[in-house]
Homo-oligomer: A and B are copies of this chain.
Amino acid sequence: MAHVRTLVEAGRHVVLTHGNGPQVGNILLKNQLTADVVPPVPLDWCGAQTQATIGTLIMNALDPIPAAVVVTRTLVDPGDPAFADPDKPIGRYFPESEARRFEAHGEVWRSFERGWRRVVASPQPLRILDAPAAIALMEAGYVVVAAGGGGVPVARTADGKLGGVEAVIDKDRAAAVLARAVGADTLIIATDVPNAVVGYGTPGARPLGAVTAAELRDLHAAGHFASGSMGPKVEAATRFVEDGGRLSVITSLERLADDKSGTRVSKQMER
B-contacting residues of A (Cβ < 8 Å)?
26, 29-31, 33-34, 37-39, 41, 44-45, 48-49, 51-53, 55-56, 59-60, 63, 66, 68-71, 73, 130, 132-133, 136-137, 140, 142, 152, 154, 161-164
Contact A164 B73 (CB under 8 A): no
| Residues of the B chain whose Cβ atoms lie less than 8 Å from the Cβ of A45 | 53, 56
Do B52 and A71 touch across chains, with their CB atoms under 8 A apart?
yes
Give min CB distance, A146 to chain B, whole Å: 11
Question: Does the CB pair A68–B66 fall under 8 Å?
Answer: no
Q: Is A56 touching B164 in the complex (CB atoms < 8 A)?
A: yes
Compute how far the CA of A38 lies from the CA of B22 in the bound complex, rounded to whole angstroms: 11
16 A–B pairs (Cβ distance < 8 Å), ordered by A: A30-B38, A41-B53, A44-B56, A45-B53, A48-B56, A56-B71, A56-B73, A59-B130, A60-B164, A68-B136, A70-B71, A133-B142, A136-B136, A136-B142, A137-B137, A140-B140
**Which B residues touch A34, using CB under 8 A?**
29-30, 33-34
**CB nearest neighbor in B for A133:** B68
CB-nearest residue of chain B relative to A60? B162
Interface contact A66-B132, CB-CB below 8 Å:
yes
Q: Which 8 A-B pairs have the closest CB atoms?
A: A48-B52, A69-B71, A136-B140, A52-B52, A68-B133, A49-B49, A30-B30, A60-B162
A30 to B49 alpha-carbon distance, docked (Å): 14
Instruction: Judge whether A68 and B29 touch: CB under 8 Å.
Output: no
A35 to B3, CA, bound (A): 34
CB distance from A178 to the nearest CB of B (A): 15
Q: Which residue of chain B has its CB nearest to the CB of A144?
A: B133
Given A30-B31, A49-B52, A154:B60 Cβ within 8 A:
yes
Q: Which B residue sits closest to A163, measured CB to CB?
A: B60
CB of B38 within 8 A of CB of A29, answer: yes
A66–B134 Cα distance when bound, in Å, is 13
Bound Cα distance A53, B48 (Å)? 6
In whole Å, how far is A18's beta carbon from the nearest beta carbon of chain B?
Answer: 13
| Chain B min CB distance to A74 (Å) | 11
Tell me the bound Cα distance from A133 to B69 in angstroms.
9
A152:B31 contact, CB within 8 angstroms: no
A33 to B35, CA, bound (A): 11
| Shortest beta-carbon distance from A70 to chain B in Å | 6
A114 to chain B, nearest CB (A): 18
Q: Are B53 and A49 in contact (CB under 8 A)?
A: yes
Contacts of A162 in B (CB 8 A): 59-60, 63
